[in-house]
Chain A
């Protein structure tokens, strides 16, 4: 599409931790950057996240997790996306992600990992640079 359209982002909190201040900070920063942010609240299953991403037809999914369950729940999210042949969505993760897990997370197809101290500008830039801008012209 030649005209610029607002970027749509799903900010999701998988797993059982109930702390979403970080996710809210990110959601607000993306909003202020002109994006449409769908925030689904805490305690989301992989199924809920993928279904929301499909119905909302988002450009990116940002997963925020603090509980340490990322190595259990991220693979499930990626598997469900694949099952539904969703291959045009940028996936990134943030929260508490130990350094030694990062190569494995990236190998799953999660393109960005952002730990504590990341500036919101960095995340905004990352989203803008890595979403597939021409995805509307392709077939779903």
Chain B
């Protein structure tokens, strides 16, 4: 076994920290280490915490971590903040909110920049969680970047998803829309000390009430009734109840068989993501910046269309040119081409 892997498995936090860096930077050795770590994973309960910027995610994670520490857990936190689309730089500020957790050896916090990924996580977040899992952290809490309506990637990594909604952010129509609210296993209305909090809870409850599976539950399958919980950081309101609900959800996943079905869905999407990532990397190495510029100019001046260029490049990296006819695949690759 590799030395760094052995040290990580023995709980050495410097080894874990370095492993995360290697994973994040796609160091050649990282894949080998991850393969070794794989068999030691699968123990941790993985929580995702998502919501709009300023909704109170970091604060909630801090309070939740403190509550779970009371329950003798060793907790990992991965906090993702956005990278600049222009310089690639980032300010990772989630630790500010988590200051009171500093110095507890049973808590490991790692800040990550999204590095061009658009789904609310960074491309390597899943692997970083895996390393923390192998190192014995349980639960592992993933805090996404501040999300809008459609960044739902956290559901591909987390087992239990918390969507944090601050009061006063919109009316009942917002609550009806598809996207982020749909991925919640638990809805949290933060800043419950504010007067609009009860209104926000009422709208979310109404939204949930419109869900047909909730109105006519299928008696043959166990179902999870998505709770709407209120929390308030200044007085710690609702945190205890939230922690209980999280553990109940884990129990539900285990007893209902959904833990396994979610894992298999996640594995499928992970393998697909690895392939797409390989494609985008190959493309990056095949086409240099100058050629890009020429191709872009040709499209701008209407000499050529984007579809024929995509077909040509696809062929050059060994893909059948027909794949570009599927826009879904293109859409996944396009953000990479831009960076």
Listed in ascending order, the chain A residues whose CB lies under 8 Å from chain B are 1, 3, 5-6, 8, 27-28, 30-41, 44-45, 47-48, 51-52, 54-57, 84, 86, 136, 139-140
Contacts and interface: CB of A to CB of B under 8 A. Distances in A.
B164 to A, nearest CB: 21
A31 B22 contact: no
A38 B92 contact: yes
Contacts of B126: none
Interface string B72-112: 00000000000110011111110110010011000011110
Contact of B93 (A32, A39, A51, A52): A39
A133 B113 CA distance: 19
Nearest to A47: B103
A30 B84 CA distance: 12
A26 to B, nearest CB: 11
B296 to A, nearest CB: 23
A81 B20 CA distance: 20
B17 interface: yes
A129 B93 CA distance: 25
Given A35-B89, A40-B99, A51-B103, 6 more contacts: A31-B87, A32-B87, A44-B102, A55-B108, A56-B110, A136-B22
Contacts of A140: 4, 14-15, 17-18
Contacts of B91: 27-28, 31, 37, 39
Interface residues of B, number: 34
Nearest to B90: A36
Contacts of B278: none
B27 interface: yes
Contacts of B18: 57, 136, 140
Nearest to A7: B89
Interface of B: 3-4, 13-15, 17-18, 20-22, 24-27, 83-84, 87-93, 95-96, 99, 102-103, 108-111, 113, 115
Q: Name the prevailing secondary structure of the A interface residues.
A: mixed
Given A30-B89, A54-B14, A140-B17, A41 B25 contact: no
- For the complex of A and B, the 8 pairs showing the least CB-CB separation, nearest first, are A41-B96, A31-B89, A57-B17, A48-B102, A5-B25, A140-B18, A57-B21, A34-B87
Contact of B27 (A30, A36, A136): A136
Contacts of A8: 21
Given A31-B90, A34-B87, A34-B89, A41 B113 contact: no
Contacts of A35: 89
B25 A136 contact: yes
B102 to A, nearest CB: 4
Nearest to B94: A38
Contacts of B84: 31-32, 34
Contacts of B113: 6, 36
Given A41-B95, A136-B27, A6 B3 contact: no
B88 A40 contact: no
A34 B92 CA distance: 13
